[in-house]
Structure 1
Amino acid sequence: MPGPEKKDTGAMPVRQLDPRSLRGLAHPLRIRLLAALRHHGPATASQLADRLGESSGATSYHLRQLASHGFVEDAPERGKGRERWWRAVHRGTTWDASLFDEEDPETRGAVNVFMHEIATIHGQELSTWIGTMRDWPAEWVKNADLSDFTLRLGPRQVRELGERLHALINSYSDAEPDEDAAKVRLHLHAFPQRDE
């Protein structure tokens, strides 16, 4: 996701988007396919179609498009016979803020599609948590967080805050997980609002 450059803490690197790769990724189904492969690991087009409620023809086509832009690749060690497995190449994406200044209408449209789809995914993930939290042990429900803050900051301070938060979050990716660890999603949004 866009934001400050992330430290590479794992074997999989973070992909720096440029105008061409952003345009290749900026399709709602491609973004969801890539997110599914990153969050759940390698899968076939049929498995992804079932997970996302799409046709396997659509997932196959968009996986090939993602591959042509270097976002996914074959996972041949997983396949049996003609079964084709896919895996994510990078653990995340980031981009330089200069993409917001692009004059090319296609790139500007790609920025909008990407940002809106990420916001939609975040909303869906949060709704899923709220709808299923009673299925989790009480310890998880008590310790999960749903907070918002309003601060008065300038653009430089927002960037600094983001960098510090990213550094803190990345420090946990190197930590030994607790015995009762589960996959935890963190969303970070920082944006200005006009005073009423």
Structure 2
Amino acid sequence: MPEEPKVRKLDARSLRGLAHPLRMELLNALRRRGPATASMLAERLGESSGATSYHLRQLAEHGFIADAPEHGKGRERWWQAVDQGLTFDTTEFDGAGPEVRGMAEIYLHEVAATHARELSGWLSTRDHWSTEWTRASDMSDMTLRLTPDLATELVDKMHALINDYRGRVTDETPGTEQVRVHTHLFPTETD
């Protein structure tokens, strides 16, 4: 059975350290591509190394990333992600002040924007992929009628199913690529 990824639950303090578009992008880059230096990340993300260095230090101060000394040589400082994922329960911020609620909004909107950028990136590069990968991709949407309890059950089952696929292949398995899976479940207004 595959090992569950290490996931961190966001609270008001940690949200302060993460609710910034560049910090979220840096953390995602370290999670997906592994340890890197501020200069490497600056080049990859089209930012200055000064900006990436500052935001990496902020992420480290809030426990999202840590030194990766086994990668560094000399004065070169390498960083790695501490966790593989985040959980965020919006109800925990219901009674929070405007500053915390604002950071929660920034975080949620940046997650949605990241998902949209990733999907758009796939659509603009899909002709560079093999027919097998093009057929294996998915962009579906469905509409159901559910109660909050059933919606929670569905989300839990989707996450369990996705986790069941972790560790089934290695980097050496032919045809293996990193994939992104987005799930969104939300209520909509009906007439």
TM-score, normalisation: structure 2: 0.93
2:35 partner letter: P
Q: Please identify runs of 4+ aligned residues in structure 1 that moved more than 2 A.
A: 95-100, 174-179
> 2:30–2:36: 8 Å Cα contact kept in structure 1?
yes
The residue correspondences of 1:26-45 to structure 2 (distance < 5 A) are 26-45=19-38
The residue correspondences of 1:68-83 to structure 2 (distance < 5 A) are 68-83=61-76
In the alignment, does 2:75 pair up with 1:104?
Answer: no
Between stretches 97-106 and 40-49, larger displacement belongs to 97-106
- State the distance in 2 between where 1:173 and 1:143 align: 17
Q: CA offset at residue 100 of structure 1? A: 3.8
1:76 partner letter: P
What percentage of aligned pairs have identical amino acids? 56
Between stretches 96-105 and 85-94, larger displacement belongs to 96-105
- State the distance in 2 between where 1:147 and 1:52 align: 29
Q: CA offset at residue 95 of structure 1? A: 2.7
> 1:22–1:111: 8 Å Cα contact kept in structure 2?
yes
Alpha-carbon displacement from aligned partner over 1:79-122 (angstroms, at most 9, x marks no partner): 12111111000011113343241322121111101101111111
Q: CA offset at residue 168 of structure 1? A: 0.5
Report the counterpart of residue 3 of structure 1 in structure 2.
none
Report the counterpart of residue 180 of structure 1 in structure 2.
175
> 2:3–2:166: 8 Å Cα contact kept in structure 1?
no
- State the distance in 1 between where 2:95 and 2:174 align: 47
> 2:169–2:176: 8 Å Cα contact kept in structure 1?
no
- Higher relative CO (Cα under 8 Å, sequence separation at least 6) belongs to 1
Aligned counterpart for 1:19 among listed residues 12, 27, 33: 12
How many residues align? The count is 188
Q: CA offset at residue 24 of structure 1? A: 1.3
- State the distance in 2 between where 1:87 and 1:128 align: 25
Alpha-carbon displacement from aligned partner over 1:160-183 (angstroms, at most 9, x marks no partner): 110010010011114235531110
2:157 partner letter: R
- State the distance in 2 between where 1:106 and 1:172 align: 39
Alpha-carbon displacement from aligned partner over 1:43-93 (angstroms, at most 9, x marks no partner): 111111111111111100000000000000111111121111110000111
Secondary structure of the residue aligned to 2:54 is helix
Report the counterpart of residue 126 of structure 1 in structure 2.
119
In the alignment, does 2:74 pair up with 1:86?
Answer: no
2:15 partner letter: L
TM-score, normalisation: structure 1: 0.91
Report the counterpart of residue 139 of structure 1 in structure 2.
132
| Unaligned runs of at least 5 residues, structure 2 | none
| Unaligned runs of at least 5 residues, structure 1 | 1-6
Q: CA offset at residue 8 of structure 1? A: 5.6
Report the counterpart of residue 164 of structure 1 in structure 2.
157
Secondary structure of the residue aligned to 1:173 is coil
> 2:15–2:103: 8 Å Cα contact kept in structure 1?
yes
C-alpha RMSD of matched pairs (Å): 1.5
2:187 partner letter: P
